[in-house]
Amino acid sequence: MEKTIAFLSGQVPGGILLLLLVLLVINLVFSFFKSTKLTDSDRSRKGRIIYSLSVIMIYVAVWLATQPPKPQIRLMILPERPAHSEMLTAQSFEFSERFQQTALLHLSEKYLLHRWEWTFETLGPDSAFYYDKWLRLTKALHAGALLLPQKEATGYSCVWIQGSDSTEYHGSTLSDVLRQVAHKSGLLKDVSSFPETPRTYLTIKTEFLKKKYDRVIQLTSRVTDSSLLIWRAAAFVEKGKMQKIDRERAKFVPVTNPNFVEAHNILIQSIKRKTDTSETAYWLGVMAIYNQDFTKAEIFLKKALVEDPTNPRIHLALSYLLPERLREFGYKTRVDILNKAVHLDPGYREGVYQLADEYYSSGTGTESGFGTTRAQNVIDAFLKIKKNDVRILSLLGSIELKLKHFDKALVLFSKLQKMLPDKSNSYYNLGIVYFMKKEYKTALPYFLKAIQMDQNLDSYLYAGLAYRMLGENQKALDYYRERVRRKTGDDDKWAKEAMKGIRIILADTTAHVH
C-alpha cells in the first residue's frame, strides 16, 4: 500500500492525498452553492466536473514532469568463450577491454556499464577463469543486456542479448565485430574506432586483479607506456596499504612508506607529462586517505569522480571523508555515497561490507532497529549474488553476535571454520562465540588452537580472559603478558586491554596477601 501511494504521488510529497483533498473541497463547495440556491443543479454539476477535471489534468502534468528517469539497463560483457576449454586466459578479456575503453566515453545513457574487472573481483581469482561462473553471475546481478563474444576458427562472433531479443554479429577480425556491435546495437554513439589492447596490458591487469602485486611490479620494471605504469603504481599502493602504521607514534615520528614513495613518483611523473587519467587521481587519493591527509585526498578523489562518475571504487574512497566535503555532489551522509557505490556494483564486496557496517553502527544496535534491518537487507542481497563469501558471512556473524543471537552466530562461524580450516581466525571466532555465551571451558581450546596455528594475536588476550574466568590466574597472567610483549604499536588497544587484565590480577593478589 505504501509503495502504491508513493507511486501515485510521483515526486510530490503526499501528492495523491492532496489531490483527493482538493477534489473533496471542490465537490463540497459546489454542493454548498447548490443547497443555498446560489446556483442551479445544472451549473453546479458542470462546475464540479470542469474544476475537477482541471485539477486532475494539472496533477497529471505535474506527476509526469516530476517522474524520475527510468533506471539504466545494466550492460555486462563476458570474456571470449573458450573454443576447446572452459578455462579462460588473460587474452580472453580482449573484446571486453577494447569495448569497455570505448564505452566509457561513448556508451548510450540508457545503459550502465558493469566493467569486466568488477565481475572478476566479485568472482575472485579462484573462480574468475571459469566461463560458467561468469554466466551464473550475470543472472545473479540481473544484467539487462549482455555481450557474449567468441573467437572462432575463421574470425570472431558476438551475441548481443537484451530481454527476449538477441542479435549475432560475425567478422573476420575482432575490430570488425566491435564496429558492427557499435553501429547496429544502439549501445554506442559517435564511434569510429576502437583502441588496440596490447597482450602485455591484459596480462598485467589480470595479474593485478589476482592480487599478484610483486608479479605486476616485475612485469612493469622496464615499461614506459603510461597505461602500463598506472598498474605498476597501483601495485605499489596495494603493497603499501599492507604496511601497518602505528598512529600514535606517527604523531611524533615521521613514518615513510617506501611503496607509497614509489607509487607517488610514478603518478606525479604522469601528471607532469600530462598523461594522467582518473586512475592517477584515484590512487593518489587512496594514498592520501591512508596517510590521513584528508585535504589532499579530497582534491584528488573529487577530480577522479568528475572524470569517472560511475566508478564505485572512487565512491568508496570518498566515503572516508567527512560528509560535509561531499555535499556539492548531493551526498548528505556516508550511507548515501556507499549506497551509490553498491548501486553501481551490487557485487562490490568492500562496498557492501562498509555499507552494512555503517547501517548497523549508526543504528540503535537492536534486533528490530532501522540500522540493523537495513544492514541485514544489504547483506542478504549480496549473499544472493555470492552466497559463500567469507568476508560478508563473517560480518553477518559479528552482527548476530552483537545482537546476542549466539546460536545463529555459532552456525555462521562453524560454517566459516569448515570453509577455512587452515585459518586461525576461524577458531578464534568460534572461541569468541562460546566466550560470549560464558562457556569458558569450551571457548579456551579454540583460542589455544588459534595461537598454536600462527600465534593469533587476539587469542592471547582471550585465552587470558578465559583462564581468569576459570580462576587460573597464573595462566591468565602468562597469556596477558605474552599479548603485551607482542604489541604492534602504541595504538594497539588489545595490548592495552591485556595490561588492564594484568593490573586487575596483581591488585587482587596484593589484596589477598594483605
Report the SS3 class of residue 475: helix
* CA–CA distance, 370 with 76 (Å, rounded to integer): 33
Same domain, 306 and 412: yes
pLDDT tier at 8 (50, 70, 90 boundaries)? low
Measured in whole angstroms, the distance separating CA 460 from the mean position of its chain's CA atoms is 33
CATH number at residue 304: 1.25.40.10
pLDDT range class, residue 134, cuts 50, 70, 90: very high
Q: Are residues 231 and 202 part of one domain?
A: no
**SS3 string of 156-211?**
EEEEEEECCEEEEEEECCHHHHHHHHHHHCCCECCCCCCCCCCHHHHHHHHHHHCC
The predicted pLDDT at position 29 comes to 78
**Most confident listed range (243-257, 382-396, 492-506):** 382-396
Q: Look at the block and give the residue holding cell 558493469.
A: 114
Give bridge partners of residue 107 from the DSSP assignment: 188
Q: Which is more confidently placed, 29 or 291?
A: 291
Start-to-end Cα distance in the chain: 71
Q: Are residues 38 and 183 in the same domain?
A: no
pLDDT over 80 at 147, yes or no: yes
- Asked if residue 453 is part of any domain, the answer here is no
Query: Are 59 and 88 in the same domain?
Result: no
Evaluate whether residue 286 is within a structural domain: yes
- 421-466 pLDDT tens trace: 999 999 999 999 999 999 999 999 999 999 999 999 999 999 999 9
Q: Which region among 38-52, 137-151, 455-469 has the lowest average model confidence (pLDDT)?
A: 38-52
293 & 419 share domain: yes
219 assigned to some structural domain: yes
Identify the pLDDT of residue 422: 95
Residues belonging to the chain: 514
As a whole number of angstroms, the distance between CA 32 and CA 185 comes to 61
Q: Check whether residue 201 and residue 241 sit in a common domain.
A: no
Which residues does 22 contact at the CB level (< 8 Å), separation at least 6? 55
The per-residue pLDDT for 511 is 55
**Region 501-511 average pLDDT:** 81
Asked whether the beta carbons of 436 and 406 are under 8 A apart, the reply is yes
Average pLDDT over residues 252-275: 91
Q: Which of 46-50, 115-119, 331-335 has the lowest mean pLDDT?
A: 46-50
Residue 466 counted as domain residue: no
- What's the structural domain count of the chain? 3
Report whether 141 contacts 225 (CB < 8 A).
no
pLDDT of amino acid 22: 81
84 and 187 fall within a common domain: yes
Residue 123's closest CA among 138, 108, 142, 113?
Answer: 138
Instruction: State the pLDDT at residue 514.
Output: 47
Cell numbers of 338, please? 556507499
164-204 residue pLDDT tens: 899 999 999 998 999 888 888 888 887 777 888 888 999 99
Angle 381-346-128 from CA coordinates, rounded to 5°: 105
41 and 21 within one domain = yes
pLDDT tens digit string along 351-404?
A: 999 999 999 988 776 777 788 999 999 999 999 999 999 999 999 999 999 999
Q: Model-level pTM? A: 0.84
Over residues 371-380, the pLDDT tens digits come to 899 999 999 9
Q: Which residues contact 245 (CB under 8 A, 6 or more apart)?
A: 255, 257, 290, 489
Do residue 272 and residue 403 come from a single domain? yes
In our burial notation (b when 16+ CB lie closer than 10 A, e otherwise), range 482-504 reads bbbeebeeebbebbebbeebbee
498 falls within a domain: no
Rounded Cα distance between 332 and 336, Å, is: 7
Q: What range defines the domain where residue 425 resides?
A: 210-439
Q: Does residue 158 register a pLDDT over 80?
A: yes
Measuring CA to CA, which residue among 88, 81, 208 is closest to residue 148? 81
